[in-house]
């Protein structure tokens, strides 16, 4: 459903290049409290019904109802947090960078690649280990900057954005005009392939196209 919504937002000839979300650490930290409360409620339910003996029927009923209510409320809260995380997407197309959020009511912010002046990447030590970080996009628009916090694979996201901007500025032609630039271009697409941005087929095809120009 989310991808269908994105497709409707695209201009003619515009293609989706990268879709990412915030790192799974974000949703894990959001549902941590609910998970602990649900676990405690389950333990209390098991102790009150199956372990502790001679519990009055009324007290047992109160324990069961209370635990089920708590588990139900915490479960709804967890589902809400997961849906919010899942529907917050960061997208690079052949023309712009898009941020979409909202489960029912959608909020969309986009920056044209032509107006992107600089891209800043910030990663902590933990972020480098687990593969998340902040990407800040500086543009020439009145908004000035757009900050994507704790997204997954920020290095690949930044690289894909820069390459998409260069592609757009050259009219979508990735081939260099000078033959002596071809080795550096092959090195760039090899790096994209290692980062998982280009598939094996795309990497092989683009490399063969570049080698044919030499």
Q: Residue ranges per domain, the chain?
A: 28-84
Q: Band of the pLDDT at 173, cuts 50, 70, 90?
A: very low
CA 161 to CA 115: how far, in whole Å? 12
pLDDT for res 91: 93
The pLDDT, as a whole number, for residue 189 is 76
Q: Which of 5-9, 21-25, 68-72, 139-143 has the lowest mean pLDDT?
A: 139-143
Decide if pLDDT at 178 tops 70.
no
Q: Which of 111, 98, 82 is nearest to 3 (CA)?
A: 98
Instruction: For residue range 113-128, list pLDDT tens digits in order.
Output: 888 888 889 999 999 9
């Amino acid at each position: 459903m989310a991808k269908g919504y994105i497709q409707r937002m695209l201009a003619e000839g515009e293609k989706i290049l990268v879709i990412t979300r915030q790192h799974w650490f974000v949703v894990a930290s959001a549902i941590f409290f609910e998970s602990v409360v649900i676990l405690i409620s389950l333990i209390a339910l098991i102790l009150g019904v199956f372990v502790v003996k001679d519990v009055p029927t009324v007290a047992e009923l109160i324990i069961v109802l209370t635990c089920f209510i708590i588990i139900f409320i915490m479960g709804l809260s967890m589902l809400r947090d997961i849906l919010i995380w899942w529907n917050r997407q960061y997208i690079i197309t052949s023309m712009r960078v898009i941020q979409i959020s909202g489960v029912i009511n959608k909020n969309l912010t986009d920056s044209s690649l032509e107006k992107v002046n600089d891209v800043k990447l910030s990663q902590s030590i933990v972020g480098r280990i687990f593969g998340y970080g902040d990407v800040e996009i500086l543009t020439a628009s009145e908004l000035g900057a757009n900050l994507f916090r704790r997204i997954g694979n920020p290095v690949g996201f930044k690289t894909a954005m820069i390459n998409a901007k260069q592609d757009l500025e050259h009219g979508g032609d990735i081939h260099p005009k000078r033959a002596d630039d071809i080795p550096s271009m092959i090195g760039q697409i090899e790096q994209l392939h290692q980062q998982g941005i280009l598939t094996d087929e795309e990497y092989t095809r683009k490399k063969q196209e570049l080698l044919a120009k030499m």
